Structure formats: structure tokens, C-alpha cells
A = this chain, B = another copy of it.
């Protein structure tokens, strides 16, 4: 994305619209997201799952420290793509909002309510000077009132709910897979297999059990948990790319 003559100067501050009504700084922040690792989220009949690609560049790195799926509250988790520090700041804010809700109303926060609060917060960074927009996108997943929810945000503070979606560098490949194969009738196991197929397409097959982190919030418990390496490997070892990608 090369800046053209026309937009030069309109893209230096968040407080400036371009002549065609665009906020270039927000669009540039989206570029930071596009350079991030891929994360996918899928709603299914009996829950919602988050799957992320943790490409580890060095054997010296403790894999557990590459956190891409964050538990926000018992019933909510977030997957992020983009600037790591920004994601952590948003995650902190999300956790505080959950605690405030518990203290104020003595109940767990509704997932849509939390998502809107985060987006409202992100929107202010697109309208006021003195700071830059967040360079991160989030998948916010959880179960509220017995219903699985899956929201996606981006640096503009836009909020959309998806049946299945992806963020980060592999988003186009992921969405193509989902568009072709997603079905409302899937259970969580099918959803995970579909997610792996999408990640497989997005990473051109470069992933194994160590690269993949899976989070799940089943309807039954309504509680988030990360899958153990053993559980993940059950899926990854039986994963058949052809089946996933071309079935």
C-alpha cells in the first residue's frame, strides 16, 4: 500500500479527514493487524471455538509466553492479531470491565455489552489527538444466556458478529474456506477441524501441533478453557488437509 500524492499530509494525524472522507491513520492501523499472525473463531451448535497460529521462530522461546488467546472472564475469551502490546492493553481493560460488572451487578457481563465497551474505547482513539489508534483486532468469544457469541473488532472500533471469521495475515484464505464449508449444523469437533483447515490454507500448510492453540467455550459448561497439548494433538494428528480444504 503505497501513499499516493493526493493523500500525502492527510495521513499524519487521526484528527484529520482526507478529502474523500477517510481516516488514513485508522487504515494504517489495520495494516498492522494484517501483518499479525492468523486467528480464527467459529460458532457451532454446542459452543464457540478460537484457534490461533503460534508461529514460533526459535526453539529457545517458551511457547507458553506467546499468548494469543486470553481468558477475560469465566465465560469469555479473546484472540488477538496485530501489535502485541496493544492487545495486552485491551485485554487488561476487558478484564477490568468484567470485574466492574460483577461488583456492580453481581453477575457476569454480557458478551455483547463487553464488546461494545471495548469498541467505544477503541473509537475514541480514532477521534481525539495525542494518541494513535490501537493496532490490533480482537475476536471476542463466549457464551451468554446459553447462546454462543463471536464478535470481531478492528482499530476503527467497528463491531460485527460473525458465525465464523478470521483476523490477521491469513484472513483472506480463512474466509474463503469458511465461506465454502461453514455450516450452522456443525458441532465443536467439526468446527475445530474446519478451523484447522482454514489455518492450514492460511499458512500454506506450515503448522503442527506446537503451533496451534485452541480455546473452547462449550454451551454445556459455558466456561472457557484452553485445550491441552494432548487434546490439540488429537485434532492435528487426525487432521486431513484434503478433507478440510476440499471436502
Contact = CB atoms under 8 A, between A and B. Distances in A.
Interface in A167-214: 175, 178-179, 182
Interface stretch (A8-16, A45-53, A220-228, A235-243): A8-16
A16 B17 contact: no
Contacts of A14: 15, 132
A17 B128 CA distance: 15
A64 B33 contact: no
For chain A, give the interface size range: 35 or more
A178 B132 CA distance: 37
Interface stretch (A71-79, A97-105, A116-124): A116-124
B85 A156 contact: yes
Contact of A158 (B10, B31, B84): B84
Copies in the complex: 7
Interface in A130-168: 130-135, 151, 156-165
A164 B11 CA distance: 37
Given A11-B19, A182-B60, A65 B1 contact: no
B35 A19 contact: no
B21 A29 contact: yes
Nearest to A150: B62
A110 interface: no
A88 B64 CA distance: 29
Contacts of A158: 84-85
A25 interface: yes
B162 A60 contact: yes
Q: What are the 7 tightest A-B residue pairs by CB atom distance, in nearest-first order?
A: A21-B31, A85-B157, A21-B32, A65-B161, A85-B123, A17-B28, A62-B161
